[in-house]
């Protein structure tokens, strides 16, 4: 169940995910314009910038040719939790979707990305979702030691004849 927050969780972010609209629509409907360069959705990534347990939650939309960096800032508006997206650079970055073009910053304020934390919780805008139960660590007693001496990891497991090569990992 989401909890509305006005302060950043003091947790290590490990990933950032596109807003859900990107998974509901064909990717060819989206394109970005960053620093005068058009970038299509299949060429763009969303990634964390300088992740840390505290401090700003920054992310970027990046491709090989251009990057636009943003920051998710949690705050209180009146007595209610709220958030804003700030453009750290490239304030003129835009997104085109279904024939409409708008500021990428404004788009992320309408459809914020989801930040995932090391404990499995997530933050989408002001909605923080924690796991109901913490997963159990893998039991150490179930870890088996294998002796890999003599194994040739660069050898194909099967020869062209279809027989298994000895000392391969197949």
Residue 65 CB burial class (10 angstroms; 0-12, 13-18, ≥19): exposed
* pLDDT at residue 98 in the model: 86
Residue 64 per-residue DSSP state: S
Q: Going residue by residue through the chain (170 aa), what tens digit of pLDDT does each one get? A: 899 999 999 999 999 999 999 999 998 999 999 999 999 999 999 999 999 999 999 999 999 999 999 999 999 999 999 999 999 998 799 999 988 999 999 999 999 999 999 999 999 999 999 988 777 788 889 898 888 887 777 766 666 666 766 666 65
CB 9 within 8 A of CB 128: yes
Any idea which residue has 């763009």 for tokens? 44
Q: Is 99 helix (H, G, I), strand (E, B) or coil?
A: coil
pLDDT value for 166: 66
Answer for the pair 106, 95: CB distance below 8 angstroms, yes or no: no
- Of the candidates 147, 149, 118, the residue with the CA atom closest to the CA atom of residue 135: 118
The angle subtended at Cα 12 by Cα 85 and Cα 128, nearest 5°, is 55
**pLDDT for 153:** 72
């Amino acid at each position: 169940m989401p909890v509305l927050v006005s302060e950043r969780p003091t947790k290590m972010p490990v990933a950032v995910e596109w807003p859900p609209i990107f998974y509901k629509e064909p990717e060819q409907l989206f394109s970005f314009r960053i620093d005068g360069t058009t970038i299509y959705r299949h060429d763009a990534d969303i990634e964390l910038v300088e992740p840390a347990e505290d401090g700003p939650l920054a992310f970027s939309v990046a491709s090989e040719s251009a990057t636009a960096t943003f920051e998710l800032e949690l705050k209180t508006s009146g007595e209610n939790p709220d958030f804003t997206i700030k453009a750290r650079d490239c304030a003129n970055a835009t997104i085109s979707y279904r024939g409409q073009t708008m500021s990428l910053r404004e788009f992320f304020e309408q459809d914020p990305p989801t930040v995932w934390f090391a404990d499995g919780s997530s933050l989408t805008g002001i909605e923080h979702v924690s796991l109901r139960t913490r997963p159990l660590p893998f039991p150490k007693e179930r870890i088996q030691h294998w002796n890999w001496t003599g194994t040739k990891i660069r050898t194909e497991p099967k020869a062209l004849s279809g027989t298994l090569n000895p000392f391969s990992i197949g």
